[in-house]
Structure 1
Amino acid sequence: MSVRNLIEKNSQSMTPSERKLTAVLLSDYPFAGLASIQELAERAEVSPPSISRFVTKIGLSGYAEMQRSLIAEMKDGDRSPVEIHATGKQIEGGYLSGFLSRAVGQMQSAGAAITEGQFNRICALFADPKRNIYALGGRISDTIAQHLSFHLRQARAGVFHIPRDPERWPEYLLRMKPGDVLFLVDFRRYQPNLRRLAKQAADRKAQVVLMTDKWMSPANKYATEVLAVPIEISTIWDSYAAALAVTEAMATHVAEEDWEATRQRIEAWDAVRQTEQESSS
């Protein structure tokens, strides 16, 4: 059984710090696990003894055995070519088809980096009617947060998109109750104010779900769940195609899990929209 499969098998029993470690390991699999235990501990913001306990927990005798297993996987060709970034390579041939091909590879890498266990845990948080959901992203990545909040609002009540103006954030922070969820999206060229917002939400006992990249937003220090999605496709800008796909998968899964309630809410939503259109015409 591969190290990735061992992690997946034990994902349900992991602590918040072990989930952070899992996100780091899977975001750059298998290379992250080939670093020294001190380097991995610094990157994941956990202690070396915590890593040793984690490795034992997933069924290996120690960190050295995990590294040997990862090297063996590489030699056996277990790592898919779509997980290897083509850094610095220009798109050859038709640009559109080449770009879309890289985007497909990026999405497949996202599927390998996020376990089904983690996906289901986060969807359960989003679906819990006792929890309010707050969403916000960075300068460009806020479109991902808006996408999630718009679709979740059609499926359930208590979903809020936080405005980008930090002067308005106290209003939303003061609403947060213990157990509520803050969904943050922060990719490289990270925003310091999102780190501060994550800390303030965590101080209020909210659950911070962070979507970031393999380099890890500083906000990950306060996150209970970290979704490390690939964003590199060797073009002038990073691509958020995989991030959007993961976001749509979460919103769709939440909506379909209780379809009867979702159907009733969408019908009521559309009825209000229709009334507004008729009154304005």
Structure 2
Amino acid sequence: MQPFETHELTKNQQRIANYISKNIENVAFLTEKDIADACLVSSASVSRFWEAVGFKNFKSFKRSLREQYLSTPAAKTEKTIHKFGQHPFLPMMEAHIHNLEKTLTRLSETDFRSSSSLLIEADTIHVYGNGAAQFMVDLIAFRLRRFDCNVHTLAPSGHEIFEDLIHIHPFDVIVVFGFMDFSPELQVIFDIAQKRKIPIVLITDRLISPMREKAAAILYSERGENNEFHSLVSTLAIVEALILEVCRGKGASAISKLKELQDLRKQYASKLPKQ
């Protein structure tokens, strides 16, 4: 969330805005004095800041954050349906195009190249995501295994994740779909990766998050407004581009596996016809 980018702010207000943006997930636990001390400004400056950015006070700002981050799936879906009206196809296509364009402006080509290199060189690629992102986990695992990549998917939640994490070793890489707050599962994954010096490729729609500071490469994916139905179209585009780049990087070895797959299909076509 970047709630202050459209406002003209003084230097002290810019300092406050920058601090809040970088600590957005902890704002609920802060007081105005905490913010003032961290920004080296007076408490009065912090109190005046809220009105400068369109809020009555600190309490109303926190309420706005809560509404955006805690909006229920039902509320998000209802709002999106109402927004697109009775004929949603064209508005949704336009929204997808907007998300893709926004992704392009914020996606680092350097990080994309770094991500593909990490995947190409890894002994094992571990992939984590939960909720709707599990679809992306399955897709990237399915595609990369065709190129003879060793891919392991991590349990999406709970204690089962420990069963997977014990198999992470040096020269591996972890791909994380981080579309939520810094959850306990993500905290464990990032902590273990840091201790074992294992790079993480983070695919996220978060512009501000502790995850970004701990990732080796960040692939930004725009999914729409926080309080609306989230789209995975731009995420799919990133994943497919990454898959193709890994195939290109692996060269003849990847293509040979695809040819082997085709030969097997031909050999056993009568027993296992393509559906």
- Flag structure 1 segments of 5+ consecutive residues without an equivalent: 1-26, 46-86
Does the 8 Å contact 1:103/1:233 carry over to 2? no
1:244 aligns with 2:236: yes
1:183 aligns with 2:194: no
Structure 1 residue 210: Cα displacement = 1.4
| Residue identity matched to 1:224 | A
Does the 8 Å contact 1:173/1:201 carry over to 2? no
Structure 1 residue 236: Cα displacement = 4.4
Match of 2:5 in 1: 31
TM-score, reference length from structure 2: 0.64
Q: How does 1:207-246 map to 2 (within 5 A)?
A: 207-214=199-206, 216=208, 218-232=210-224, 236-246=228-238
Does the 8 Å contact 2:112/2:217 carry over to 1? no
Q: Tell me how far apart the structure 1 counterparts of residues 140 and 6 of structure 2 sit (CA, whole Å).
A: 29
| Higher gyration radius (CA) | 2
- Superposed CA deviations along residues 205-243 of structure 1, whole A, max 9, x for unmatched, are 211111121354554453222223211168841111111
Identical positions, percent: 17
Question: Taking structure 1 as reference, are residues 161 and 186 closer, same or farther at Cα in structure 2, changes over 3 Å only?
Answer: same
Structure 1 residue 182: Cα displacement = 0.7
| Residue identity matched to 2:160 | R
| Residue identity matched to 2:199 | Q
Structure 1 residue 191: Cα displacement = 3.7
Q: Classify the secondary structure of the residue corresponding to 1:227.
A: strand
Query: Which of 196, 213, 220 is residue 188 of structure 2 equivalent to?
Result: 196
Question: Taking structure 1 as reference, are residues 196 and 156 closer, same or farther at Cα in structure 2, changes over 3 Å only?
Answer: same
Question: Taking structure 1 as reference, are residues 277 and 173 closer, same or farther at Cα in structure 2, changes over 3 Å only?
Answer: farther
Match of 2:18 in 1: 40
1:121 aligns with 2:114: yes
Q: Tell me how far apart the structure 2 counterparts of residues 177 and 212 of structure 1 sit (CA, whole Å).
A: 24
Q: Tell me how far apart the structure 1 counterparts of residues 200 and 246 of structure 2 sit (CA, whole Å).
A: 18
Question: Taking structure 1 as reference, are residues 32 and 244 closer, same or farther at Cα in structure 2, changes over 3 Å only?
Answer: farther
Match of 1:158 in 2: 150
Match of 1:99 in 2: 92
| Residue identity matched to 2:91 | G
Query: Which of 132, 145, 149 is residue 137 of structure 2 equivalent to?
Result: 145
- Flag structure 2 segments of 5+ consecutive residues without an equivalent: 24-78
Question: Taking structure 1 as reference, are residues 278 and 207 closer, same or farther at Cα in structure 2, changes over 3 Å only?
Answer: farther
Q: Classify the secondary structure of the residue corresponding to 2:146.
A: helix
Question: Taking structure 1 as reference, are residues 258 and 209 closer, same or farther at Cα in structure 2, changes over 3 Å only?
Answer: closer
Question: Taking structure 1 as reference, are residues 153 and 41 closer, same or farther at Cα in structure 2, changes over 3 Å only?
Answer: farther
| Residue identity matched to 2:5 | F
TM-score, reference length from structure 1: 0.63
Structure 1 residue 175: Cα displacement = 2.1
Structure 1 residue 198: Cα displacement = 2.3
Does the 8 Å contact 2:119/2:246 carry over to 1? yes
Q: Classify the secondary structure of the residue corresponding to 1:163.
A: coil
Match of 1:135 in 2: 127
Query: Which of 251, 260, 263 is residue 268 of structure 1 equivalent to?
Result: 260
Q: Classify the secondary structure of the residue corresponding to 2:123.
A: coil
- Superposed CA deviations along residues 116-154 of structure 1, whole A, max 9, x for unmatched, are 1111111111111x4321001012212112211211111
- Relative to structure 2, which stretch is displaced further, 95-104 or 177-186? 177-186
Q: Classify the secondary structure of the residue corresponding to 1:185.
A: strand
Match of 1:62 in 2: none
